[in-house]
Amino acid sequence: MKKLSLDLNAEVERLRRVNARLMTAVRRGREDYAELLEVSHASIDYLRREVAALEAENLNLNIRLGSVN
């Protein structure tokens, strides 16, 4: 019975270590996801500004060509 108890204690300790490693990986994954999300938002903002600038340039060119009153 004592052997079984020692085996169970060893298994519990092994599972605790595995769980700690998994939690570390999950935290890293969340950090990576947050970083990717931040980059994505920055890219979207940049592209929106570029589109707005191109639309303004297009409007100015159309005005010069007399296409828009």
Residue 69: is its pLDDT beyond 70? Answer: no
Residue 68: is its pLDDT beyond 70? Answer: no
Looking at residue 3, what is its pLDDT? 72
Place of tokens 């990576």: 32
pLDDT digits (tens, 9 = 90+) for 9-66: 999 999 999 999 999 999 999 999 999 999 999 999 999 999 999 999 999 999 999 9
Q: Say if residues 57 and 65 touch (Cβ distance below 8 Å).
A: no
Residue 2: is its pLDDT beyond 90? Answer: no
